[in-house]
Structure 1
Amino acid sequence: MASQSAGIQQLLQAEKRAAERVAEARKRKNRRLKQAKEEAQAEIEQYRLQREKEFKAKEAAALGSHGSCSEEMEKETSAKMSIILENYKQNREKVLEDLLSFVCDIKPEIHVNYRING
């Protein structure tokens, strides 16, 4: 009987050691998973920062070119306005003369459709 009892004790101790090893293995596994997750988060953050930097560079380039287009349009508009003002100054007197002559120089005539009853 003593040997059965000793055998059972050895089995219980072996089971206890196995359970401790399994628990330790689970702890190591959880630590590795946590470490892998942290490394992945760091890598994701680094990738995100890199992509954001590239996006900002492209955005700045696009807005820079858009800004130069805006400046170009301002110059073009300014040039056209100066041409229009120059034409206005050159033709103002002639237009006023023509307008005044049409208004003041009246030549009365009878309309072709007017009928004199008589």
Structure 2
Amino acid sequence: MSAQNSAGIQTLLDAEREASKIVQKAREYRTKKVREARDEAKNEIEAYRAKKEAEFKKFEAEHTQGNKAAQDEADKEAEAKIREIKAAGKKSQGKVADDLLDAVFRVNPVPPV
């Protein structure tokens, strides 16, 4: 009977070792699958980020060109106005200086009323 019990115990121990190996393989498989899923998710996120970055750069380029054209047009208009003002100043500067000197040197006192 004790040999039979010993053989039964040995069979149980062997089954336990085999079950332990199966559980370990399952854990390793699960860990491998989790890593693969994590790597796949990282790749998907990076691809999505790159796609959105490209879309943003395209959007930015399209709208920056419009702003740049508007800015160039505004700069041209401002330069034209500045030239116009300078020309008017040069044209009238002699008369303005004469009028100022005339006002300073010709004093017409007026008595208070």
Question: TM-score band, normalised by the shorter chain?
Answer: 0.7 to 0.9
**After the TM superposition, which of the residue ranges 16-25 and 62-71 deviates more from structure 2?**
62-71
Greater Cα offset, 92-101 or 7-16: 92-101
Could you say which structure has the higher helix fraction? 2
**RMSD over aligned Cα atoms:** 2.2
| Percent of pairs with identical residues | 38
Match of 2:111 in 1: 111
Give TM-score scaled by structure 2 length. 0.79
SS for the counterpart of 2:111 is coil
1:86 deviates by 3.1
Report how many aligned residue pairs link the two structures: 112
Please identify, of 58-67 and 75-84, the stretch whose mean Cα deviation from structure 2 is larger.
58-67
In structure 2, C-alpha distance between the alignment counterparts of 1:68 and 1:56, rounded to whole Å: 18
Distance 1:32 1:110, change over 3 A: closer
Q: Which stretches in structure 1 are left out of the alignment for 5+ residues?
A: 114-118
Larger Rg: 1
**Offset from partner CA, 1:19-65 (integer Å, 9 cap, x none):** 11111111111111111111111111111111122222222233323
Structure 2: gaps of 5 or more residues: none
Scaled by the length of structure 1, what TM-score is found? 0.76
Partner secondary structure for residue 42 of structure 2: helix
Q: Partner of 2:50: helix, strand, or coil?
A: helix
1:30 has 2:31 as partner: yes
